[in-house]
Amino acid sequence: MRPLKPRLPGTIADAVTTIMGTLTADGAAAAVEKSAALVRKWADPDHACVPDARQIEELDAAYEAATGARGPISAVINERLAARRSGPAHVAKDPQARLGEVMSEVGEIATDLMRYGADRHLTRTERARLTKDARDAKKALDRMIRDLSLPWGSTGRRRA
């Protein structure tokens, strides 16, 4: 078996690959009344071919019927639209700098947990603080993932 080409998270190719992992290429093809070869092209990150709006709806509906989970292609599109509406453009950073942000946020969680002590129930205020710290860590990690999904690496510049 050949290894799969890596797919960047948050891409149509990755979402179609997720669908094929559940439905198989033949099952996904049947859902859109197209060939399995075409579905595999949609899942290929090096191929420019993508499903149209009707095909996206049908693929996601078949996936949702099989799993009960949200359709992955619509999720990718909705995340992209939300990112566009959320304000200023994303400014990519070097992965090591971004990792420093993630580790700093995770460190705040660890510091709070050590301060609160072990083997006891957390107060409502302590839980609220930890929840805020965890959300901040998740945002930092999401920014790192977004940096890494840029076409030419985290800085947006093509490497030689």
Instruction: Single out the residue of 93, 13, 85 nearest to residue 46, CA to CA.
Output: 13
User: What does the pLDDT read at residue 2?
Assistant: 58
- Three-state SS for 47? coil
Same domain, 17 and 57: yes
Please count the structural domains in the chain.
2
108 found inside a domain: yes
155 found inside a domain: no
User: Residue 62 corresponds to which tokens in the numbers above?
Assistant: 């078949």
Domain boundary among 62, 85, 108: 85
User: What does the pLDDT read at residue 148?
Assistant: 83
78-109 per-position pLDDT tens digit: 888 887 776 667 788 888 899 999 999 999 99
3 found inside a domain: no
User: Residue 42 corresponds to which tokens in the numbers above?
Assistant: 């949609």
46 found inside a domain: yes
User: What does the pLDDT read at residue 159?
Assistant: 40
Domain boundary among 39, 62, 85: 85
31-72 per-position pLDDT tens digit: 999 999 999 999 998 888 999 999 999 999 999 999 999 999
Domain boundary among 41, 59, 85: 85
pLDDT for 150 beyond 90: no
Tell me, what DSSP letter sits at residue 122? Answer: P
Residue type, 91: V
Residue range of the domain that includes 63:
12-85
Q: Are 39 and 20 in contact (CB under 8 A)?
A: yes
Helices (DSSP H) in 68-94: which residue ranges? 72-85
Same domain, 77 and 123: no
1 found inside a domain: no
How many CB atoms sit inside 10 A of residue 57's CB? Answer: 16
Helices (DSSP H) in 33-123: which residue ranges? 36-42, 53-67, 72-85, 95-116
Same domain, 16 and 81: yes
- Cα separation of 159 and 117, whole Å? 47
